Amino acid sequence: MSSATTVSVSEPGTQPGQDAAGAVLVPVAHGRQAAPSPAPVAAAYLGQLVVGRAVRLGSRTSPMAMAQARHVAALLTALVPRVEVTLAGISTSADQWAGDLAALGGKGAFTKEIDRALLMGEIDAAVHCMKDVPGDVPLPAGLLFASYLPREDIRDCLVFPVSSDGAALADLPAGARIGTSSVRRKAQLGRNRPDLAVHRVRGNVNSRLARLDAGDFDALVLARAGLARIGMTSRAAETFDTDTMCPAVGAGVIGLQCRADDKGLLELLRVLDDAPTRTHVTAERTIHGLQGHCNSPIAGHCATTPDGQIALRGMAFTRDGGEFVHAMEWGPASRPAELGAYLAGLLLRKGARDLIMGIPH
């Protein structure tokens, strides 16, 4: 049974004729009376989808995860001001485990207790970081991702102790201790700075920063979006470009998952779906056709090009980054899964399978 703590979320208000950001929904035409705003009609319709019920959002319990859940709750109450939204913090096995994730079966340990709570009806929707959702494991039957929120910053960054005047990777001396929980980051650090000592660090971002400031490490590599969610972007010293540190699949994306048969909530959550983000995430997650394991350094990123196509980049590394394969392909935005599958096949033909299977797991 999952452990859950429920807290209420207050409902933000908006002015008549404005959206949640304060933008005027219906402009005033010259010499004519403004048309009635559709906002009340839309809110009334959306409210009927969840009438007579509260919406229970499930999330991991870290400060970053709960900040994401509060953000989603605010989006829902902006759409339907009278809806009651509560948050349920669920402690996952990965959050409680300090060892190698491989012992728990990989990244799925971040989601299985939340999946169970959703299937058992203990929560109505789950808020996930998509980079923590395995792409090579089918979703439990009956669950789906109703929406992906607009993508945030995809980049990784270097963080120094508060007592340090370091500003960049180049400032670190040979043998400096770098903390990261990601084999993808470790491999790419090894590719760029093989003289550094990379150590595994687990725990939420706040606890990692505390260990950094206590002197356990000389620097950390963290997701810039994660720092933003807990209001600590000022801690980012150097932000890596995607050539230096290719992002994780699903980086910077919050996904909202619900039961497929919860039609009302499904329709409400779909209002929050960002179509370009869904296209990009679909292409990236299909790269997992490489069938890597949780110790596989695999990276991928998709973006829309100026001509409307999508460009997909994928990489696979040895653990130390000494060897890697890389591929990039373009295709129509209407076929992201096909592009991802093609890129995965191209990486396999270049030797990605040998790199992946050569890493203990």
Shared-domain flag, residues 161 and 219? yes
State whether 109 and 135 are in the same domain: yes
DSSP state of 63: H
Q: Is residue 134 part of a domain?
A: yes
Which range marks the domain in which residue 57 is found?
A: 4-149+250-273
Distance CA 100, CA 208 (A): 16
Is 101 inside a domain boundary? Answer: yes
Residues 160 and 94 in one domain: no
Residues 204 and 295 in one domain: no
CB count in 10 Å sphere of residue 105: 15
User: Would 216 be classed as within a structural domain?
Assistant: yes
pLDDT by residue for the chain (361 residues), tens only, comes to 444 443 444 343 444 334 333 333 333 333 444 444 456 777 788 888 888 889 999 999 989 999 999 999 999 999 998 899 999 999 876 555 455 544 445 455 568 889 999 999 999 999 999 998 887 778 899 999 999 999 999 999 999 999 999 999 999 999 999 999 888 899 899 989 999 999 989 888 999 999 999 999 999 999 999 999 999 999 999 999 999 999 999 999 999 999 999 999 999 999 999 999 999 999 999 987 675 545 568 899 999 999 999 999 999 888 777 788 999 999 999 999 999 999 999 999 998 888 877 655 4
Q: Are 166 and 172 in contact (CB under 8 A)?
A: yes
Pair (301, 353) in one structural domain: yes
Q: Is the residue at 245 inside a domain?
A: no
Asked whether residue 267 falls in the same domain as residue 145, the answer is: yes
Find, among 292, 291, 289, the residue nearest to 184 by Cα: 292
List the catalytic residues. 132
Residue 183's closest CA among 49, 90, 296, 270? 296
Token pair listed for 84 = 């009651």
Residue whose structure tokens are 């990692």:
208
List the beta bridge partners of residue 18: 24
Task: Please give the span between the terminal C-alpha atoms of the chain, in angstroms, as a whole number.
Answer: 28
Q: What is the DSSP letter of 43?
A: H
Query: Where on the phi/psi map is residue 82: left (φ > 0), alpha (ψ -120 to 50), or beta?
Result: alpha
Task: Find the CATH number of the domain harbouring 78.
Answer: 3.40.190.10
The answer to whether 249 and 298 have CB atoms below 8 angstroms apart is: yes
Query: The CATH number of the domain where 298 resides is what?
Result: 3.30.160.40
Residues 41 and 136 both lie in one domain: yes
Q: Are 20 and 111 in a shared domain? A: yes
DSSP bridge pairs for 177: 197
